Amino acid sequence: MCGRYSLTTPLEAVTNLFGVAGRPNFPARYNIAPTQDVPVVRAADGDGDGDRRLDLLRWGLVPHWAKDLKVGSRMINARAESAAKSPAFRTAFRQRRCLVPADGFYEWRKLPGGTKQPYRITLKAGLFAFAGLWEAWHDPAGETVRTFTILTTDANELLMPIHDRMPVILAPADYDAWLGAEDPAAVQALLQPFPAAAMVATPVSARVNNVRNDDAACIAPVAEPETAIGDAAPAQGELL
Q: Is 218 a catalytic residue?
A: no
Q: Where are the beta strands (DSSP E) in the chain?
A: 5-7, 29-32, 37-43, 52-59, 77-79, 97-102, 104-110, 116-123, 128-138, 144-154, 165-167, 169-170, 199-203, 238-239
Phi-psi sector, 134: left (phi>0), alpha (psi -120 to 50), beta: beta
Which strands, in side-by-side order, build the sheet including 116-123? 29-32, 5-7, 104-110, 116-123, 199-203, 238-239
Given a contact cutoff of 8 angstroms between Cβ atoms, the answer to whether 27 and 6 are in contact is no
Single out the catalytic residue among 2, 98, 135, 218: 2
Q: Is 107 a catalytic residue?
A: yes
Backbone angles phi, psi at 58, to 5 degrees: -85, 130
Sign of CA dihedral 97, 92, 191, 106: positive
Single out the catalytic residue among 98, 107, 135, 218: 107
The residues annotated with a catalytic role in the active site are 2, 107
